[in-house]
Amino acid sequence: MAHTITSMLKDGQQYMQTWPMQKQLYAMFPESRVIAATKLSITVMPALAVLTVAILLNVQGYEKLPQALALGAFFMSLPMQGLFWLGHRSNQPLPPSLNNWYLDIHQKMQQQGCALQSPKSKPQYKELARLLKTAFDELDKTFMKRWF
């Protein structure tokens, strides 16, 4: 299935909002670190881009305008690169080992009485994110320790 850049950015934003930011997941998945870096870059990079362009133009003059704008554009692109990576990742199918883990967690959550949709036959990372978010939100910590 082909995805446009805008749909990938939207998927990345949704995935960033869905992924549970839990310390147990930091060692297992790069998502938590990418999300933290992306959120920081969304906050910091616009100001850094403007500041960089202003300083370069002030110090080196307007003959360096193309280079200053290119550097500013680079800083502005960093948050989008993080969202793009997250969007791409969210649409990737789980590898077999994670697929089995997903099914195991899903089954045990249903046994605990969680209301869940039926498990996907070929789940993607976004389905894993939804399942983990539900698990962290609805199950107690002692039950969660069995998986981590």
148 residues of the chain, pLDDT tens digit each: 567 999 999 999 999 999 999 988 998 999 999 999 999 999 999 999 999 999 999 999 999 999 999 999 999 999 999 999 999 999 999 999 999 999 998 988 888 888 888 888 899 999 999 999 998 888 766 666 666 5
44 & 115 share domain: no
**Per-residue pLDDT, 110:** 87
- 25 and 43 fall within a common domain: yes
What per-residue confidence (pLDDT) applies to 120? 86
Q: Find the domain containing 98 and state its range.
A: 93-148
User: What is the C-alpha separation between 93 and 86, in angstroms, rounded?
Assistant: 13
Domain match, 99 and 112 both: yes
Query: What SS3 class is residue 49?
Result: helix
* Domain limit, last residue, from 43, 72, 91: 91
Say if residue 72 is in the same domain as residue 12: yes
Query: Residue 138's pLDDT is what?
Result: 81
Q: Which of 91, 116, 137 is the last residue of a domain?
A: 91
Identify the pLDDT of residue 146: 64
Task: Kindly report the number of other CB atoms within 10 A of residue 122's CB atom.
Answer: 8
**Contacts for 89 with CB less than 8 Å, ≥ 6 apart:** 15, 31, 125
pTM: 0.87
